[in-house]
Amino acid sequence: MRWPFLLSVCLLACTACTFAQTAELNPSTTEQPESPAYRALQARLARGWNTWDTQSVTTQVLLPEGLAIRMMLRHNTALNSDAQLDDALIGRRGPGVEQVIPGPHSWDGSYTSLRLTWRGTSLRVQSAHAGSDLVLLITPEAGPSTETVPATVAIEAGYLWNRPGTVTFHGNHMEAVSPTNRVPIYFCGPVARQPDEHAAKLDLYAPYFSAPLRSVLGLSTGRPRTLDQIRTVIASQEKLYQQSIAQPAETKVVQDEIQTTLGWDTIYDPENHRVISPVSRIWSVNWGGYVLFDWDTFFAGSLAAIGDRDLAYANVVEVLREETPAGFVPNYARAGEWKSTDRSEPPVGAITVLALYKRFHDRWLLEQTLEPLLRWNRWWTANRDVDGYLVWGSDPLAKPVDPDDAWRGTREGAILESGLDNSPMYDDASLNPKTHRLLLGDVGLMSLYIADCDALAQIAETLGKVAEAKQLRGRATTYRSKLDTLWDEKSGIFLNRDLATGKSSHRLSPTNFYPLLARAASPKQAHRMIEDHLLNPNEFWGQWVLPSIARDDPAFKDQNYWRGRIWGPMNYLVYLGLRNYDEPEVRRELAQKSLELVQQEWRAEGHLHENYNAITGDGDDVTNSDAFYHWGALLGLIEWTEENSPVGAQLTP
C-alpha cells in the first residue's frame, strides 16, 4: 500500500532527520534566493482542496494540512488480488487498466469532473468547493449487465506526507483533526462499514466510508449536505467554470484544453514544499514522484499564463531553482533531488520570462530570475561552443551522478540535450570523444540562444543592468553573424553543419525555421524559407503540420517520436518566429491547422498528446505518446495567441 498515513509525532521527527541527510548527500541542488513576493505566491497556490496528490486523480487533498480524501473501487465478483482500484491516472495503458476521460478542471480546483471506466463499471466523479468545504458527487453510468453484485465505492480519509493529524469516526461521520483545524466529513448514501457483505474484501488502512454503487453517492466536508444540496454546489461551480472560458468565443475550446490540462497535471511536491506542473502524472509516478523537464516546464508557464499568473510564475521559478552548481538548468530534475548534471535542454527560459513580464508587468519576477538566467546563458558559450558554433553535449565527469541515468558522457546523452531525443537530424553526427560535444553546428540551438540573449538583454535593461545588457547584445551579434554562415543560398534555408567534415546537412526539421525567432533571417530570406520549405507539401505543409522531420526525409515514414511526428513546441516556436515577419496568412493558417490537430482526440477522448502522427493526425496510434502531456496544449495556445495578442505586442525580443 503506497499511502502511509501519519501514525505518530515520532515518525514525523524521523522523517525530518531523513530529509536533512538526503540534502547533504545530494549537493546538486542550487538554492536560489526566494523573494517575499514568491514565498507569498507559493503560499497562495498551496492552499485549499485540489487534486494535489500525484498518484491519483480521484484523490482530493486539503493544503496546507495534507488531509486527503481518496475514492477507490472494488470489483466484488473478482477473485484475483488486483480487484481493487486504489489509484486512477489519465492515459494509463495495458490490459485491464482503468480508463479515465478527464473533464473540466478549474485552475484552483473549485470544479473538477472526470469519467472513469474499470472492469465494466463506469461512473462520473465531480468535485466542487462550497466556500472552504469540499463536496463530491459520484454518479454510476454503467455496469456489467450480468453482474448481480455492483462495485463497491470506498472513500478513505487520512493525512499524507507525514503531516500531523488523525481521522476518527464520530457517530455518522468522520472527523479529521490537525494542529490547525478540524474537518468533519459526511457521506450521503447507503453507508456500509466493515464488516459487511460487500466491503469485507476491501484493502484499506485508514477510516473510510463504503457503499455499493447502485445509486448516486455524495460526500461533503464541514457540514452534512443532501444529494440535492451537493448537486446545487456542483452546478454552481460548473457554471463559474464555463464562464471562465467563455471569452472570447473563438478560443473557448483552447481555454478549456489549457485550463483542464494544467489543472489535472498540477501537483504538490511535498519533498520541496511547492506547487509545480510536471508534464503528466504518469511521467511523475514513473520518475518517483515528480519530474521537471527543462523546456517543458517553461512551456507550462506559458500555458498557465492565459488564466493563472501565480501558476505560470511558479513553474518558471521552480525549474530555474533546479539550476546545477555548474550554472545550467538541467535536462531533468526528479524526486530524490536527482537531476542531469551532465546536460541541459533548449534555452527557452528568457523568452518565456520576458513574455510573462510583458503580460503581467511584475518587476519582482525579473529580479527573481535574472541571475540564474544569466548563469545559464554564459554556460552555453563556455561549454558548448565549437569554432564559434553552438553544439549539444554531455559532460561525463559532472557530479553528483544520478544512478539511474545511463546517458552521461555519451553520444545519446548529447542528443538528449537537444530535447529531440531520436531526431534523424543527428543520425550522422559524430561525438568528439575528448570533449563529448556533438560535432554539428546546430541552427536550432544557435537561434534559440540568440533569442535568449536578446530577451535577457531586455530584462537586464529593465532592471538597470547596463553592463550585462551590453554583454548580452554583444553575444547575440556574435552568434547571429555565425548563424548567417549557415545560410545556404542554393537551398534557400539555414542548414546544420557537420563540423567534422565541413559539409551542410540537408535533413530538415522545424528547427531550421528557428532563425525567424532570432530575427536572424532577412525579410527576403524569411519569405524564401516559408515559400520553398514551410509551405512545401513535400516537406512540411499538408493537412497535419508540422512534422518533426521533412516529409521527403527517409525517416519520416517511421512516425516514431521525433522521427516524423508532430510536436506542440516545434509548432509554437515556429509560430513565434513568424510573428517577427510580415506573413499574416501563413501565421493564421499554422494556428488553425495546429488547433484542428489537437481538437480531434480532445473532443472524443479528452486526450492531449505528447506528439501526433503527421500522416493521420492520431495520437493514440503509438504507445510512446503520453495521452495527457501538457505541452500538447501548445498547439492550441498558438490560436489563443493569434486571437488575443496583436503582432505589435511582441512576445519575443
Domain co-membership, 70 together with 213:
yes
CATH number of the structural domain spanning residue 227? 2.70.98.110
The band of 369, judged by pLDDT with boundaries at 50, 70 and 90, is: very high
Alpha-carbon span 510 to 549, nearest angstrom: 7
CA separation for the pair 202, 87 (Å, rounded): 14
CB neighbours of residue 97 within 10 Å = 15
Q: What is the pLDDT of residue 31?
A: 60
Sign of CA dihedral 80, 84, 89, 90: positive
196: confidence class by pLDDT, cuts 50, 70, 90: very low
- Tell whether 194 and 58 lie within a shared domain: yes
Residue 273 in any domain: the answer is: no
Whether 252 maps to a domain, the answer reads: no
What is the three-state SS of 455-490? HHHHHHHHCCCHHHHHHHHHHHHHHHHHHHCCEECC
- Over 50: is that where the pLDDT of 601 sits? yes
pLDDT given for residue 81 in this prediction: 57
pLDDT at residue 19 tops 50: no
pLDDT of residue 268: 98
pLDDT one-digit tens code per residue, 540-564: 999 999 999 999 999 999 999 999 9
169 phi, psi to nearest 5 deg: -85, 140
Nearest CA to 351 out of 502, 454, 488, 257 is that of 454
513 compared with 249, residue with greater pLDDT: 513
Average pLDDT value for the chain: 91
Query: SS3 string of 389-440?
Result: EECCECCCCCCCCCCCCCCCCCHHHHHHHCCCCCCHHHCCCCECCCCCEECE
pLDDT in tens, 141-180: 976 544 567 889 999 999 999 999 999 998 889 999 999 9
How many CB atoms lie under 10 A from the CB of residue 593? 20
Beta bridge partners of 60: 69
Q: Which domain holds residue 612?
A: 529-653
If asked whether residues 485 and 552 sit together in one domain, one would say no
Q: Would you place residue 202 in the very low, low, confident or very high pLDDT band (cuts 50, 70, 90)? A: confident
CA distance 60 to 47: 12
DSSP state of 191: -
Kindly tell me if the per-residue pLDDT of 3 is higher than 70. Answer: no
* Cβ pair 635, 643 in contact under 8 A: no
Determine if the pTM surpasses 0.85: yes
| pLDDT value at 108 more than 70 | yes
Instruction: Kindly state whether residues 534 and 424 are assigned to the same domain.
Output: no
> Under a CB-based contact definition with an 8 Å cutoff, are residues 213 and 118 in contact?
no
Whether residue 559 sits in one domain with residue 483:
no
For residues 505-517, one letter each, b for 16 or more C-beta atoms within 10 angstroms of the residue's C-beta and e for the rest, the string is: bebbbbbbbbbbb
How many angstroms separate the CA atoms of 64 and 59, rounded?
Answer: 15
Distances (CA, A) of 182 to 5, 62, 108, 159: 17, 12, 22, 12
Q: What is the pLDDT of residue 650?
A: 55
Centre a 10 Å sphere on the Cβ of residue 5 and count the other Cβ atoms it contains: 22
Whether the CB-CB separation of 146 and 114 falls below 8 Å is answered with no
* Cell, residue 414: 548529447
Query: Which DSSP state fits 534?
Result: I
Looking at the structure of the chain, the number of domains it has is 3
Of 8-22, 142-156, 236-250, 582-596, the least confident:
8-22
Sign of the Cα torsion 266, 269, 270, 275 reads: negative
Query: CA angle, corner 435, sides to 429 and 441, nearest 5?
Result: 40
> Any idea which residue has 502511509 for its cell?
4
Tell me the C-alpha distance between 473 and 314, whole Å. 28
Out of 225-234, 542-551, 598-607, which region has the weakest mean confidence (pLDDT)? 598-607
Side chain identity at 81, as an amino acid letter? S
> Is 346 inside a domain boundary?
no
Contact 544, 614 (CB under 8 A): yes
Of 186 and 648, the structure prediction assigns the larger pLDDT to: 186
Looking at the domain assignment, is residue 323 inside a domain?
A: no
- Given this model, what pLDDT does residue 171 score? 83
Predicted pLDDT of residue 83 = 86
Q: Is the pLDDT of residue 132 over 70?
A: yes
State the number of CA atoms in the 13 A half-sphere of 114 facing the CB. 26
For residue 220, the SS3 value is strand
Strand pairing report for 152-159 and 173-177 = unpaired
Radius of gyration from C-alpha coordinates of the chain: 26
Shared domain check, 552 and 458: no
Report the pLDDT averaged over residues 95-113. Answer: 96
- In this prediction, residues 296-314 reach a mean pLDDT of 98
206, 224, 244 — which closes off a domain?
244
- Per-residue pLDDT tens digits for 329-363: 999 999 999 999 999 999 999 999 999 999 999 99
- CATH at 362: 1.50.10.10
Over range 277-297, report the average pLDDT. Answer: 97
Question: Mind listing the pLDDT tens digit for each residue in 392-435?
Answer: 999 999 888 999 999 999 999 999 999 999 999 999 999 999 99
pLDDT score, position 201: 66
pLDDT higher than 90, residue 75 = no
Pairing of strands 67-74, 84-85: antiparallel
Q: Which residue has the higher pLDDT, 93 or 192?
A: 93
**Number of C-beta neighbours around residue 367 at 10 A:** 16
pLDDT for 204 beyond 90: no
Same domain, 56 and 182: yes
150 DSSP 8-state letter? P
Q: What is the pLDDT of residue 10?
A: 32
For residues 313 and 356, the answer to whether their CB atoms sit within 8 Å is yes
CA separation, residue 388 to residues 235, 391, 446, 471, 544 (Å): 61, 10, 10, 16, 36
Instruction: Please check whether residue 2 lies inside any domain of the structure.
Output: no
DSSP per-residue codes, 600-620: HHHHHH--B-S-B-TTT--ST
Where among 194, 229, 244 does a domain terminate?
A: 244
Are 455 and 591 in a shared domain? no
Nearest alpha carbon to residue 351 among 186, 466, 174, 476:
476
Mean pLDDT (whole number) for 251-256: 93
- Single out the residue in 226, 244, 262 at which a domain terminates: 244
User: Does residue 587 share a domain with residue 453?
Assistant: no
Confidence of residue 20 (pLDDT cuts 50, 70, 90): very low
496 and 580 housed in the same domain: no
Q: Is residue 429 part of a domain?
A: yes
Q: Identify the bridge partners of residue 121 per DSSP, sorted by sequence position.
A: 118
d(CA 338, CA 72): 32
- Once rounded to an integer, what is the mean pLDDT over residues 521-542? 98
Mean pLDDT value across residues 322-326? 97
pLDDT score at 79? 60
Residues 205 and 62 in one domain: yes
Q: How far apart are CA 205 and CA 172, in angstroms?
A: 19
Question: Rounded CA gap, 268 and 277, in Å?
Answer: 9
Half-sphere exposure of 19 (CA within 13 A, CB side): 13
Whether residue 495 is contained in a domain is answered as yes
Percent of the chain residues topping a pLDDT of 70: 91
Q: Does residue 534 sit in the same domain as residue 443?
A: no
pLDDT band, residue 205 (cuts 50/70/90): confident
Residue 226 falls inside a structural domain: yes
